[in-house]
Amino acid sequence: MKIYVFHGVNLNLLGRREPEIYGRTSLAELNARLEAMGRENGIEVECRQTNYEGEMVSWIGELKPSDFLIINPGAWTHSSYALYDAIKGVNVPALEVHLSNIYAREGFRSRSLIAGACLGQISGLGTDSYLLALAYALEFQKYRQEKNLQQGVEENKNS
Protein backbone atom coordinates (compact mmCIF):
# COMPACT_ATOMS: atom_id res chain seq x y z
CA MET A 1 0.00 0.00 0.00
CA LYS A 2 2.34 2.67 -1.28
CA ILE A 3 1.97 6.06 -2.88
CA TYR A 4 3.92 6.46 -6.10
CA VAL A 5 4.74 9.82 -7.65
CA PHE A 6 5.70 9.42 -11.30
CA HIS A 7 7.14 12.37 -13.20
CA GLY A 8 7.21 12.13 -16.97
CA VAL A 9 9.20 13.57 -19.79
CA ASN A 10 11.43 16.63 -19.16
CA LEU A 11 10.54 16.90 -15.51
CA ASN A 12 14.14 16.01 -14.64
CA LEU A 13 14.84 19.61 -15.72
CA LEU A 14 12.63 21.07 -13.00
CA GLY A 15 14.19 24.18 -11.43
CA ARG A 16 16.12 25.21 -14.54
CA ARG A 17 13.53 24.62 -17.28
CA GLU A 18 11.43 27.75 -17.97
CA PRO A 19 11.47 28.73 -14.27
CA GLU A 20 8.96 31.52 -14.88
CA ILE A 21 6.44 28.75 -15.71
CA TYR A 22 7.61 25.77 -13.68
CA GLY A 23 9.34 27.45 -10.73
CA ARG A 24 12.81 27.16 -9.25
CA THR A 25 12.39 24.08 -7.09
CA SER A 26 14.44 21.16 -8.37
CA LEU A 27 12.99 17.69 -8.81
CA ALA A 28 15.24 16.38 -6.03
CA GLU A 29 13.94 19.06 -3.63
CA LEU A 30 10.34 18.34 -4.55
CA ASN A 31 10.80 14.59 -4.16
CA ALA A 32 12.47 15.07 -0.78
CA ARG A 33 9.46 17.08 0.44
CA LEU A 34 6.99 14.48 -0.81
CA GLU A 35 8.90 11.58 0.72
CA ALA A 36 9.22 13.43 4.04
CA MET A 37 5.47 14.08 4.07
CA GLY A 38 4.92 10.36 3.55
CA ARG A 39 7.25 9.49 6.45
CA GLU A 40 5.46 11.97 8.74
CA ASN A 41 2.23 10.14 7.94
CA GLY A 42 3.59 6.61 8.16
CA ILE A 43 2.98 5.82 4.48
CA GLU A 44 5.78 5.14 2.03
CA VAL A 45 6.05 7.57 -0.87
CA GLU A 46 8.26 6.60 -3.81
CA CYS A 47 9.11 9.13 -6.53
CA ARG A 48 10.46 8.30 -10.00
CA GLN A 49 11.11 10.21 -13.21
CA THR A 50 11.63 8.97 -16.75
CA ASN A 51 11.95 10.43 -20.24
CA TYR A 52 10.90 7.10 -21.80
CA GLU A 53 7.21 6.57 -22.35
CA GLY A 54 7.54 2.77 -22.47
CA GLU A 55 9.32 2.79 -19.12
CA MET A 56 6.51 4.85 -17.61
CA VAL A 57 3.95 2.40 -19.04
CA SER A 58 5.89 -0.51 -17.49
CA TRP A 59 6.08 1.21 -14.09
CA ILE A 60 2.33 1.79 -14.13
CA GLY A 61 1.76 -1.83 -15.13
CA GLU A 62 3.52 -2.98 -11.98
CA LEU A 63 1.19 -1.06 -9.63
CA LYS A 64 -1.30 -2.87 -7.42
CA PRO A 65 -4.89 -1.62 -6.90
CA SER A 66 -3.96 -1.02 -3.25
CA ASP A 67 -1.34 1.54 -4.31
CA PHE A 68 -2.04 5.17 -5.16
CA LEU A 69 -0.55 6.97 -8.14
CA ILE A 70 0.21 10.67 -8.47
CA ILE A 71 1.33 11.36 -12.01
CA ASN A 72 2.60 14.35 -13.91
CA PRO A 73 3.00 12.94 -17.42
CA GLY A 74 4.50 16.18 -18.81
CA ALA A 75 3.85 16.48 -22.55
CA TRP A 76 2.59 12.87 -22.69
CA THR A 77 -0.55 14.29 -21.06
CA HIS A 78 -1.54 15.59 -24.46
CA SER A 79 -0.34 12.73 -26.65
CA SER A 80 -0.41 9.36 -24.93
CA TYR A 81 -3.30 6.93 -25.28
CA ALA A 82 -0.84 4.34 -23.97
CA LEU A 83 -0.64 6.04 -20.57
CA TYR A 84 -4.44 6.31 -20.41
CA ASP A 85 -4.71 2.58 -21.12
CA ALA A 86 -1.98 1.74 -18.62
CA ILE A 87 -3.66 3.62 -15.75
CA LYS A 88 -7.08 2.17 -16.64
CA GLY A 89 -5.52 -1.28 -16.91
CA VAL A 90 -4.20 -1.46 -13.35
CA ASN A 91 -7.33 -0.08 -11.69
CA VAL A 92 -5.24 2.05 -9.37
CA PRO A 93 -6.58 5.30 -7.88
CA ALA A 94 -4.69 8.11 -9.58
CA LEU A 95 -4.43 11.86 -9.54
CA GLU A 96 -3.04 13.85 -12.47
CA VAL A 97 -0.97 16.87 -11.47
CA HIS A 98 0.55 19.80 -13.35
CA LEU A 99 2.75 22.60 -12.13
CA SER A 100 1.36 25.05 -14.69
CA ASN A 101 -2.29 25.71 -15.49
CA ILE A 102 -2.61 23.66 -18.67
CA TYR A 103 -5.87 25.47 -19.54
CA ALA A 104 -4.24 28.91 -19.57
CA ARG A 105 -1.45 28.12 -22.04
CA GLU A 106 -1.09 26.99 -25.66
CA GLY A 107 -4.23 25.37 -27.06
CA PHE A 108 -2.70 21.90 -27.38
CA ARG A 109 -2.18 21.75 -23.61
CA SER A 110 -5.89 22.17 -22.87
CA ARG A 111 -6.62 18.57 -23.72
CA SER A 112 -5.55 15.86 -21.30
CA LEU A 113 -5.76 12.29 -22.60
CA ILE A 114 -5.00 11.03 -19.10
CA ALA A 115 -7.71 12.83 -17.10
CA GLY A 116 -10.40 10.25 -17.86
CA ALA A 117 -8.33 7.52 -16.23
CA CYS A 118 -7.80 9.51 -13.02
CA LEU A 119 -9.92 10.37 -9.99
CA GLY A 120 -9.13 14.04 -10.54
CA GLN A 121 -6.63 16.62 -11.63
CA ILE A 122 -4.74 19.46 -9.92
CA SER A 123 -3.25 21.96 -12.32
CA GLY A 124 -1.58 25.34 -11.98
CA LEU A 125 -0.44 25.52 -8.35
CA GLY A 126 3.25 24.92 -8.90
CA THR A 127 4.77 22.37 -6.53
CA ASP A 128 1.67 22.82 -4.33
CA SER A 129 -0.19 20.78 -6.99
CA TYR A 130 1.87 17.79 -5.85
CA LEU A 131 1.61 18.58 -2.14
CA LEU A 132 -2.18 18.86 -2.33
CA ALA A 133 -2.40 15.66 -4.36
CA LEU A 134 -0.28 13.91 -1.75
CA ALA A 135 -2.44 15.25 1.11
CA TYR A 136 -5.44 13.67 -0.65
CA ALA A 137 -3.59 10.43 -1.37
CA LEU A 138 -2.51 10.10 2.27
CA GLU A 139 -6.10 10.47 3.49
CA PHE A 140 -7.27 8.02 0.83
CA GLN A 141 -4.69 5.41 1.85
CA LYS A 142 -5.28 5.90 5.59
CA TYR A 143 -9.00 5.34 5.04
CA ARG A 144 -8.32 2.15 3.09
CA GLN A 145 -5.89 0.95 5.74
CA GLU A 146 -8.50 1.50 8.47
CA LYS A 147 -11.12 -0.31 6.43
CA ASN A 148 -8.90 -3.32 5.98
CA LEU A 149 -8.21 -3.34 9.71
CA GLN A 150 -11.91 -3.35 10.49
CA GLN A 151 -12.52 -6.13 8.00
CA GLY A 152 -9.77 -8.07 9.73
CA VAL A 153 -11.52 -7.56 13.07
CA GLU A 154 -14.84 -8.72 11.58
CA GLU A 155 -13.17 -11.83 10.17
CA ASN A 156 -11.69 -12.58 13.57
CA LYS A 157 -15.10 -12.22 15.22
CA ASN A 158 -16.62 -14.72 12.81
CA SER A 159 -13.94 -17.34 13.22
> Hey, is 7 helix, strand or coil?
strand
Out of 37, 60, 92, 102, the only residue in the binding site for ligand DQA (CB under 6 A) is: 102
* Least Cβ distance, residue 11 to ligand DQA (angstroms): 6
Which residues are catalytically annotated?
22, 98
Other C-beta atoms closer than 10 Å to the C-beta of 54 total: 9
For ligand DQA, the closer of residues 5 and 102 by Cβ is 102
| 134 touches 144 (CB < 8 A) | no
In angstroms, rounded to a whole number, what is the distance separating the alpha carbons of residues 39 and 47?
A: 13
* Least Cβ distance, residue 48 to ligand DQA (angstroms): 16
Interface residues with ligand DQA (CB under 6 A) are 10, 72, 74-75, 77, 98-100, 102, 109
